[in-house]
Amino acid sequence: MTGRRRWSTEEILDATAELLRTGDADSFSVRRLAATLGTDSSSLYRHFRSKTELLRAVADRILLAAMDGYRPEGDWKQRITSLALRVREFFVQQPQLAAVWGRYASSGTGSRLVMEEVLQALSASGLPEEEIPARYHRLTVLLSALVSAEAGFGTVKPAEHEQGMELFRVAVLGADPERFPALARFARDVRPLGADRRAAFEEILAAHLADVEAGIAAGRPAGPGAPAEG
């Protein structure tokens, strides 16, 4: 009688990613994964101590793939922009994993490579060394929020998207001008959240980096609690 097949760590990660493509982190379970692989949960816990650890490892593989072949070019802002767009594009291809990354973060090699590049770019910006950690934190919070938000739109089915667009048109174009005067005024130019998301991503990131640059030029502290300019 032959025993059950032994699955490698990479095969487990592949199977997890596939389940997440057709579901989400909430519906995912180690027990369901074990059933898909034809094994028991205990065999999977030899590779990963918890569901969260497994999900973090899957998300980290996306970061690792994004960093594969990446070469820093240009000034510090160009480096961060290029890296951010690269991470975004890799997660856009697997939106369910973007949601996982936003929720569980990662601490694997891929994550460390991204952290290293962002910190090196900020170090080259002229920021005082003591301000770099605060700026790094704000930047990564922004990027993870933007990439994770993208996931919500990437998983919407065509029929659901069209229904949402119709509801948007009704709500905006049909707004009562007496109750919603500003909305009625700009209704024909207001765009739904799903429109031009890459352009919005780039503009938001550029604005954040411009603020960092302006702070450097003005000698303004970047850390939490820094006084606002009056």
Tens-place pLDDT, residues 18-51? 888 877 677 788 999 999 999 989 889 999 999 8
Query: What whole-number distance in Å separates Cα of residue 101 and Cα of residue 123?
Result: 25
- pLDDT reading at 230 higher than 50: no
- pLDDT reading at 71 higher than 90: yes
Which has more pLDDT, 171 or 225?
Answer: 171
pLDDT of residue 228: 44
- pLDDT reading at 15 higher than 90: yes
pLDDT of residue 20: 84
pLDDT of residue 183: 92
The CATH number of domain 9-155+194-218, selected from 3.40.50.300, 3.30.70.1290, 1.10.357.10, 3.30.1280.10? 1.10.357.10
Weakest-pLDDT range from 46-50, 128-132, 189-193, 214-218: 189-193
Exposure of 86 in the CB half-sphere (CA atoms within 13 A)? 21
Round the average pLDDT of the chain to a whole number and report it. 86
Nearest to 98 by CA among 20, 31, 166, 26: 20
Say what the pTM is.
0.79
Amino acid at 166: E
Q: What is the mean pLDDT of the segment spanning 90-107? A: 79
pLDDT of residue 154: 63
Weakest-pLDDT range from 4-13, 53-62, 93-102: 93-102
Query: What whole-number distance in Å separates Cα of residue 212 and Cα of residue 228?
Result: 14
